[in-house]
A and B are shown apart, each in its own frame.
Chain A
Amino acid sequence: MFRISAEPLDPAALQRTLADTHAGACLTFEGWVRDHNEGHPVLALDYEAYAPLAEKEGARILAEARAKFAIRGAVCVHRVGALKLGDLAVWVGVTAAHRGAAFDACRYLIDETKARAPIWKKEHYTDGATLWINCATRGDHADRVKI
């Protein structure tokens, strides 16, 4: 399951959806809102998503992970809305018979989600400035462009 959520995420409830007596490993990843990015102090983040396409692309990413790795269950949920420092922005959980596949698949899911899902992040800085991450162009915070 891949879902965009406007409500806070509940890791314990999400993990319960993966319960499976055939699984010997459960890997979870939590992405948290951090107080800095590339040397700039961050106060808060806004996340925005094109939810229908994000969920379709997310389903494709989950299917790829199932084809590549010997996993049992996989879930990824990403928040949208205004988030504060320390808030949970993304939760990934993977179960597998053995830990190796679970580690590999968890890494694959978060990396591909960050690279491909139509989700955007706006950082609010302590000096009042804001920036859509990865969207700067030449002459416009070019030092902060990450492509």
Chain B
Amino acid sequence: MITVHIQYFAILREQRGLARETLATPAPTAVALYEELRARHGFTLPPDRVRAAINEEFVAWDTPLREGQTVVFIPPVAGG
């Protein structure tokens, strides 16, 4: 298990009911963590509609997670 910090935005923040949390997870990768959280909290967006960021940079879904990282899942963007 590793401990990671997660920040939620937009539709994911509302579906989680939190803006941030710190949790212990067995997930080895960003996508595994998203699937774990999606199953627990009923996120409607499938992984192929979401991107991952670790420590304030976009990363590939299969990027390994490390202790203490900050993970953000990016729902489809809509600026402008």
Contact = CB atoms under 8 A, between A and B. Distances in A.
Q: Do A and B bind each other?
A: yes
Interface of A: 31, 47-50, 52-54, 56-57, 78, 89-90, 110, 113-122, 132-135, 137, 140, 147
Interface in B45-77: 45-46, 49, 53, 56-58, 72, 74-77
B24 to A, nearest CB: 23
B75 A132 contact: yes
Contacts of B77: 114-120, 134
A107 to B, nearest CB: 12
A56 B45 CA distance: 25
Interface in B1-59: 7, 9-11, 13-14, 44-46, 49, 53, 56-58
The secondary structure that dominates the A interface is mixed
B10 A135 contact: yes
A61 B13 CA distance: 26
Nearest to A90: B80
Contacts of B44: 135, 137, 140
Interface residues of B, number: 22
Contacts of B53: 50, 53, 118
Contacts of A134: 75-78
Given A53-B58, A53-B72, A56-B56, A114 B80 contact: yes
B75 A121 contact: no
Contacts of B76: 134-135, 147
Given A113-B80, A137-B45, 20 more contacts: A47-B79, A48-B10, A49-B9, A50-B53, A50-B72, A52-B56, A53-B57, A89-B80, A90-B80, A113-B79, A114-B77, A114-B79, A114-B80, A118-B9, A120-B9, A121-B78, A121-B80, A122-B10, A132-B10, A135-B11
